[in-house]
Amino acid sequence: MKIELRPQRVSDAKRFFEILSNPSFTYFPAKPKSIEEEKNFLRLNREKRNNKTEFNFSIILNGEHVGAIGLRIEPSRPYLGEIGYFIDERYWGKGITTEALIQLEKFIQEELDLHRLEIRMAKENKASQRIAIKGGYKKEGIMREMLRVAGKWYDCYVYAKLI
Ligand SMILES: CC(C)(COP(=O)(O)OP(=O)(O)OC[C@H]1O[C@@H](n2cnc3c(N)ncnc32)[C@H](O)[C@@H]1OP(=O)(O)O)[C@@H](O)C(=O)NCCC(=O)NCCS
């Protein structure tokens, strides 16, 4: 199983739209309404990368585009990064995101100067919690009603790691 990260491209829009339209993505807030909306998001990636506010990658499994992992940095806290990820449901449970997280952290260590990494997820999102735990992140607390998906509020755990 060969897993690689590469910067996202505007031409990834159709595939991302397909993956994110899945109703099983219960705890994921960023669902594009159309391929065009997704293209507009992807067009901003270059500027965000240049500004060092977001680094978004496509996850490639044996040459096939299966998901995404990204890092967001608030300009007012340039030492703190928040990580997010998703994978096509057909590939869940194979350790792909766990490996993608390792590769993203390698990029962070080599290219950026961060001190703290956070992963936030709905309390109900067991798979995402497992990824954080396997990655060596520690649960620090609960952010009440931090996430809203399809009109429903979710409490979130915050997992973090000092690097
Ligand atoms: C969360 C998500 C990215 C996980 O991706 P993945 O590639 O399947 O993750 P991995 O295979 O690397 O690891 C998943 C772990 O969660 C575990 N897991 C999955 N569902 C679980 C559940 N319902 N209860 C407990 N553990 C669960 C798996 O067994 C595995 O742990 P293990 O290696 O100890 O067995 C994927 O489910 C997804 O895209 N979900 C929708 C989007 C989303 O929720 N993104 C995260 C937002 S914070």
Cβ of residue 128 lying under 6 Å from some atom of ligand 1:
yes
Alpha carbons 65 and 70: distance in angstroms, whole number: 15
**For atom 8 of ligand 1, which residue has the closest CA?**
92
Put simply, whether the predicted model's pTM sits higher than 0.95 gets the answer yes
Count the neighbouring beta carbons within 10 Å of the beta carbon of residue 92.
13
Model confidence pLDDT, tens digit, residues 29-87: 989 999 999 999 999 999 999 999 999 999 999 999 999 999 999 999 999 999 999 99
Contact present, 139 and 157 (Cβ < 8 Å): yes
Instruction: Give all domains of the chain, ordered by start, each with its CATH number.
Output: 3-119 (3.40.630.30)
The whole-number pLDDT of residue 30 equals 87
Residues in the chain: 163
- d(CA 70, ligand 1 centre) in Å: 16
Alpha carbons 71 and 156: distance in angstroms, whole number: 18
* pLDDT of 18 above 90: yes
